[in-house]
């Protein structure tokens, strides 16, 4: 029986976060090669990618994560509705780069943009995952962080790739692992990275270390990586392995997907 892996390519990994709408093509090409190694080893892949400099800057400027806000609270020449459309288009553009990297390697992949099938935000978002389930073996299904419609007054919001992976990893059958491929770090660090100092990597991480006890405050899990760790533990609770690795080396993402020991952080119960 073929197993599945859910992979998240972080937006900070596949784009240059400091430069608006700039793709790291060499990184994408390398990640595609590593994804191919999974398929070659009979492992089916669900790929989720982030936004990086294709989504976050405009989403932040127009406060899209907050949903509908008073027009006076917005600084910029677009309305929020126009910004929603532009961010969705920017994400389609980024997705096209991702798909190009996959097709260059003859990988068959299909994208399901969340604004077409998902509603509401957070790890309990609404949306039918059966389209992901029905894919023939070897076909990669791709989705990504996006602006989606929301119930109630908020009208819209940002559904993060870190939330998409939770439901995909828990609800799809045969998922063996969830792998977060990140930029700039080797995994979860015991302290923030410092120049000229080797990263103090936590090879394993349990809930206690993060959420309680003496060490909790020492571990830097704020912001992006904190969300991944919190979402990761939800997935681990359902018996799916969770590994966080650097996506900037030649083999760690593929190794983590295939269950090989690689430098990175493995969540443990
Ligand atoms: C964010 O998605 C989506 C938008 C801002 C439109 P993610 O939360 O998955 O993106 P990254 O990985 O942090 O860039």
Tens-digit pLDDT profile for residues 24-77: 999 999 999 999 999 999 999 999 999 999 988 899 999 999 999 999 999 999
What is the count of structural domains for the chain? 1
On whether the CB atoms of residues 109 and 139 are closer than 8 A, the answer is yes
The confidence score (pLDDT) of residue 202 equals: 94
The confidence score (pLDDT) of residue 212 equals: 64
- Ligand 1 mean position, distance from CA 53 (Å): 9
β-strand pairing of 43-49 with 3-9: parallel
Total residues belonging to the chain? 269
Please give the residue range of the domain that contains residue 153: 3-267
- In ligand 1, which atom is closest to the CA atom of 145? 2
DSSP structure class, residue 166 = H
Here the CATH number for the domain that contains residue 230 is 3.40.1160.10
Tens-digit pLDDT profile for residues 111-158: 999 999 999 999 999 999 999 998 999 999 999 999 999 999 999 999
DSSP structure class, residue 264 = S
Q: Is 162 in the pocket of ligand 1 (CB under 6 A)?
A: yes
- Ligand 1 mean position, distance from CA 16 (Å): 13
The confidence score (pLDDT) of residue 215 equals: 52
- Ligand 1 mean position, distance from CA 250 (Å): 24
R_g of the chain computed on alpha carbons: 18
The confidence score (pLDDT) of residue 222 equals: 47
Q: Is 55 in the pocket of ligand 1 (CB under 6 A)?
A: yes
């Amino acid at each position: 029986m073929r197993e599945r892996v859910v992979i998240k390519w972080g937006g900070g990994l596949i784009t240059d976060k400091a430069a608006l709408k700039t793709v790291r093509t060499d990184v994408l090409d390398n990640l595609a090669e590593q994804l191919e190694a999974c398929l070659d080893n009979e492992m089916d892949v669900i790929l989720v990618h982030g936004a990086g400099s294709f989504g976050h800057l405009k989403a932040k400027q127009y406060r899209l994560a907050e949903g509908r806000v008073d027009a006076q609270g917005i600084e910029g020449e677009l309305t929020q509705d126009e910004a929603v459309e532009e961010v969705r288009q920017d994400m389609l553009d980024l997705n096209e780069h991702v798909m190009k990297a996959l097709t260059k390697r003859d990988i068959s992949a299909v994208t399901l943009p969340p604004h077409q099938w998902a509603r509401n935000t957070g790890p309990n978002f609404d949306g039918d995952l059966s389209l992901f389930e029905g894919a023939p073996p070897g076909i990669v299904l791709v989705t990504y962080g996006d602006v989606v419609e929301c119930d109630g007054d908020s009208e819209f919001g940002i559904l993060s790739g870190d939330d998409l992976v939770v439901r995909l990893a828990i609800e799809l059958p045969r998922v063996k692992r969830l792998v977060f491929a990140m930029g700039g770090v080797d995994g979860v660090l015991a302290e923030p990275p410092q120049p000229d100092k080797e990263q103090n990597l936590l090879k394993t991480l349990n809930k206690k270390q993060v959420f309680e006890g003496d060490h909790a405050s020492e571990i830097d899990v704020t912001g992006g990586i904190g969300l991944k760790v919190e979402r990761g533990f939800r997935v681990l609770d359902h018996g799916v392995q969770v590994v966080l690795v650097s996506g900037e080396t030649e083999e760690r993402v593929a190794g983590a997907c295939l269950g090989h020991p690689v430098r990175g952080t493995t969540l443990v119960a």
